[in-house]
Amino acid sequence: QTVVTQEPSFSVSPGGTVTLTCGWRSGSVSPRDHPTWYQQIPGQAPRTLIYDTDIRSSGVPDRFSGSILGNKAALTITGAQADDECDYYCTLFMGDGTWVFGGGTKLTVL
């Protein structure tokens, strides 16, 4: 079983808003878990979008935002564009020096 959970897939209309989530299988995500979000276009290396819950990496458009919603970390894309269609991964700190990725969310924009 996956320790970190993400929606396997999600769909959004162009111009729409979508929120992807990242949670522990058991327990709540908090800022001390340093939730971090990555974007990966198939065939390319990942790119860091959001780190430490809500800090955008350099060059990331402000339509990408991070937060804690309820007991999960969240990545919200506002005004979705066609080139946002790709895979999104989150990672959480295990507290023992190790990290674990979620299974990823395949986002479709249509």
Partner 1 sequence: EVQVVESGGGLVQPGGSLRLSCAASGFAFSNYWMTWVRQAPGKGLEWVANIRGDGGERYYVDSVKGRFTISRDNGKNSVFLYMNSLRAEDTAVYYCARSEWARCDWGQGTLVSVSS
Work out which of 19, 40, 67, 78 binds partner 1, going by CB under 8 A. Answer: 40
> Binding segment for partner 1 among 13-21, 52-60, 66-74, 78-86 (CB under 8 A)?
52-60
Evaluate whether 7 touches 25 at the Cβ level (below 8 Å).
Answer: no
Between CA 85 and CA 77 the distance in angstroms is 11
Taking CB under 8 A as the criterion, the residue among 16, 17, 52, 71 binding partner 1 is 52
Q: Which of 10, 47, 54, 68 binds partner 1 (CB under 8 A)?
A: 47
With beta carbons less than 8 A apart as the criterion, state whether 39 and 81 touch. Answer: no
Binder to partner 1 among 7, 30, 34, 76 (CB under 8 A)?
34
Q: Which of 5, 19, 48, 76 binds partner 1 (CB under 8 A)?
A: 48
| Burial class of residue 96 in the structure, from the number of CB atoms within 10 Å of its CB (0-12 exposed, 13-18 middle, 19+ buried) | exposed
Q: Which one-letter amino acid corresponds to residue 1?
A: Q
Total residues contacting partner 1 (rule CB under 8 A)? 25
Does residue 41 interact with partner 1 by CB under 8 A? no
Structure tokens at 34: 């340093």
- Exposed/middle/buried for residue 57 (C-beta within 10 Å: 0-12, 13-18, 19+): middle
Residues interacting with partner 1, by CB under 8 A?
A: 34, 36, 38, 40, 45-48, 51-52, 55, 57, 87, 89, 91, 93, 96-104
